[in-house]
Structures are given as C-alpha cells and as structure tokens.
Amino acid sequence: MQRFSHAPTDPAFVQDPYPFYDRLRAAGDLAWWDDYGMVCAASHRAVHALLRDRRFGREIPSEMAQPVPEHLAPFYAVENHSMLELEAPRHTRLRGLVLRAFTSRRIASLGPEIEALAHELIDAFPAGEFDLLPAFCQPIPVIVIARLLRVPDRMAPQLLDWSNAMVAMYQARRTRETEEAASRAASEFSAFLTEYIDARRSDPRDDLLSQLIAAEEAGEKLSTEELITTCILLLNAGHEATVHTMGNGIKTLLETGRSISQADAAPVCEEIMRHDPPLHLFMRYAYEEVELFGHRFRRGEQVGLLLGAAGRDPEVYADPRRFDPRREAPAHHAFGGGPHFCVGAPLARLELQVALPILFARFPGLRLAETPRYADLYPFHGLERLVVAR
C-alpha cells in the first residue's frame, strides 16, 4: 500500500484538501496516511462499502479502551453514552428511541419557523459589508435545535459556546487547553440539562425532550445520562455541520455566479454537499480480521473514511471539481451511510433548502466582498468568515 504524508493543519491543505485526496485515490481504494498513522479510504466505492460493513464500527473494541485522564472525565462521561460512539445493541436501541421522537411530521412542521427565522435574521443585517456566518449561517441551526428541545432562544449563544468547545475535541489541532475547555463545557451543559430534564419530567410539553422522556417511560428506558448525552449529541452533531454546509454552499454559489431558488433547492443543496462537504473524515475500527480491497485489517485496526474525497471520485462524478446541480450520479456520502447514517439529514436538508433560497431571493445582487478562507478545523471543513456585500 502506498504511503502519503500531509499535515492536516498545513495551511495549503486546510484551504484545499482535494488535490491530496486525488493523489491518495489515484494510488488505489486504500492508502496509508502517515500523519494519522492509519489506512484511509478515498474512493467512492471503498467509503461506501466501509460505511455499511458490520465487521467495522465506531465503538472502540473493549480490549483497546484506555483509562481516561482525570481532566477528560467530564467529557467522556457524556461521550460514553453517545449513540455516535456505540454499536449494536446499545446503538440500535438509542437510535430507535431518537428516531421515534424525531419524526418526519415534526421535522416538516419546522419549515414555516425556519422561513420566519431566515427573514428575521435578514431584516437585522447591517448595511454595507458584513460576515454572513454570525449573521445568518450560525444562528439558524442552533436556534432550530434549541426550539426542538424547547430551550429559550436567548440560550442559543450559550449552547453555541458549549457545543463549539466540545466539538473542538475532534480537530487535528487539539491541545490540553482544548481538552480542558471541552470538559468544562460538558459539565456545565450536563448540569443545565439535568435541571431542564427534571422540569420536563414534571411538566411534559409537546417537544422533542418530552418525547424522549416519554419513550423512557414507555418501558424502553433512556437513563438521565442517556437523555443528557442525546440532547448534547443533537446539538453538537446538528449545528456545526449545517453551519459549514451553508457557508461552503453560499461561497460556491457566489464564486460561480449562481443562485438558488425554491424550484431547484433540492438538487443545488445535494450538489453543495457532494462538492464541498463540511465533515471530511470519520474513523472505524475493524472488529475481526478482514481482507478488503487488497489489505488485511487486524482486529482493532483503525481505518479513516474520507467522505470529502468520496464526493470527488472521477470514476463516479465526471469532472468532479465542477459544481453542477444537474449531474445525475449516485448519492454523495456527506451524511454518511449504513447504521450511523445521519439522523438529522431531513432537518439539515430542510434548513438548507428553506434558508438559502430566501437569502438569494432577498439579495439578488449578493456578492463576495473578500476571498473566503477556510478555518483550521480539520476534519471539519468550513469557512473562517464569509464577508459579503448586498
């Protein structure tokens, strides 16, 4: 297997990781990425197969679990109950309970609220040049999740801070400071939710949290820890990726002189997620010895799934750098696939398909006021700023 090296914090890589992915993919379905010290899948077919292969999973094999350092205990107290870090049977049970509360009826009913929120934010845009990320892209996903959980809108900035601090744990550029901030955020967030869950237990409402609690009371038992973790996961998994997708999408549309309307919102948003997705790398462990794509995986060996690379595979997407909402090609992997396929995909699609056409309808002359640059967040892929003029 060919070996490749490229620091994920290298400024040129952060701005444009796709040429590196092309080199990896040209070497075969699997290649070795030195900086992560693991085999990575960069082709569409390898990513597709590995996402669905039950011999691989996200949960760390028990014999490989390391003792958690004291300063990280509060962070892992939350993470250890997260469905995203578990496999069957615990994953199946948690995911089933969340899906039952996260119904398509509930998601679809949010459409008018997202529309009203988009107009409200646009009405408050400053004159002249301004950054669309804090003015538009960041508030929408976090306020929507806050409303789903019926947390007051005024808590949104605090939720955003907690979420950012916890999500930073997954960045290549992680320091001791990042770890301490993540643990602090996990403790504060959990304390807030504990009180909040108690209040909902004694006074259930028509909201997602009350439904998750009801599922527990119907005999399927979500413990308080699981409820806390699930609420935190919905916020953490839900906000950052959606913010980046909106930012990356608006950038591409403005750079290519395009627009987006209600009529073509679905194909344009799918192409945004294929062309420049917000989450580039997820890992899996092999649970047994597996021979795949010419490599023999050891039990416990890690493999990186390069979702960002799969969407640029020229064997599947002709001229993959070109942004073309009319292309007819197999589905992208921005939302993953298989047992961990994104629970929030319908909500994220709704937010993008409602909010982006409103922005472009209200500002037909919207333009970039400076060249957007990506932030050093790998494996997250999103902008530092998105300064526009209307």
Binding residues (CB under 6 A) for ligand HEM: these are 58, 83-84, 95, 145, 233-234, 237-238, 241-242, 245, 277-279, 282, 307, 334-336, 340, 342-344, 347-348
In the bound state with ligand HEM, the residue whose beta carbon lies nearer, of 274 and 390, is 274
Q: What whole-number distance in Å separates Cα of residue 284 and Cα of residue 297?
A: 11
Residues whose CB is less than 8 angstroms from the CB of residue 7 and which lie 6 or more positions away in sequence, other chains included: 13, 35, 172
Q: How many other β-carbons are positioned within 10 Å of the β-carbon of residue 61?
A: 15
Q: Where are the alpha helices (DSSP H) in the chain?
A: 11-15, 18-26, 44-52, 73-79, 90-101, 104-108, 111-123, 132, 139-148, 156-167, 176-202, 208-215, 224-255, 265-275, 307-310, 345-362
**Closest separation between CB of residue 322 and ligand HEM, Å?**
21
Q: Which amino acid is at 287?
A: Y
**Closest separation between CB of residue 110 and ligand HEM, Å?**
11
**Closest separation between CB of residue 103 and ligand HEM, Å?**
13
**Closest separation between CB of residue 112 and ligand HEM, Å?**
18
Question: Contact, 106 vs 196, CB < 8 A?
Answer: no
Q: What whole-number distance in Å separates Cα of residue 285 and Cα of residue 111?
A: 38
**Closest separation between CB of residue 70 and ligand HEM, Å?**
28
In the bound state with ligand HEM, the residue whose beta carbon lies nearer, of 334 and 383, is 334
In the bound state with ligand HEM, the residue whose beta carbon lies nearer, of 95 and 295, is 95
Distances (CA, A) of 112 to 21, 107, 280, 375: 39, 11, 31, 32
Dmax over CA atoms of the chain, in Å, equals 60
Peptide bond into 89 cis (omega under 30): yes
In the bound state with ligand HEM, the residue whose beta carbon lies nearer, of 74 and 238, is 238
In the bound state with ligand HEM, the residue whose beta carbon lies nearer, of 95 and 147, is 95
Backbone φ and ψ of 176, nearest 5°: -60, -40
**Closest separation between CB of residue 251 and ligand HEM, Å?**
15
**Closest separation between CB of residue 364 and ligand HEM, Å?**
25
**Closest separation between CB of residue 352 and ligand HEM, Å?**
7
In the bound state with ligand HEM, the residue whose beta carbon lies nearer, of 97 and 334, is 334
Q: What whole-number distance in Å separates Cα of residue 306 and Cα of residue 315?
A: 16
C-beta nearest to ligand HEM: residue: 344
Q: What whole-number distance in Å separates Cα of residue 42 and Cα of residue 25?
A: 5
Burial class (CB in 10 A: 0-12, 13-18, 19+), 389: middle
Q: How many other β-carbons are positioned within 10 Å of the β-carbon of residue 118?
A: 21
**Closest separation between CB of residue 386 and ligand HEM, Å?**
16
In the bound state with ligand HEM, the residue whose beta carbon lies nearer, of 82 and 190, is 82
In the bound state with ligand HEM, the residue whose beta carbon lies nearer, of 163 and 245, is 245
In the bound state with ligand HEM, the residue whose beta carbon lies nearer, of 148 and 165, is 148
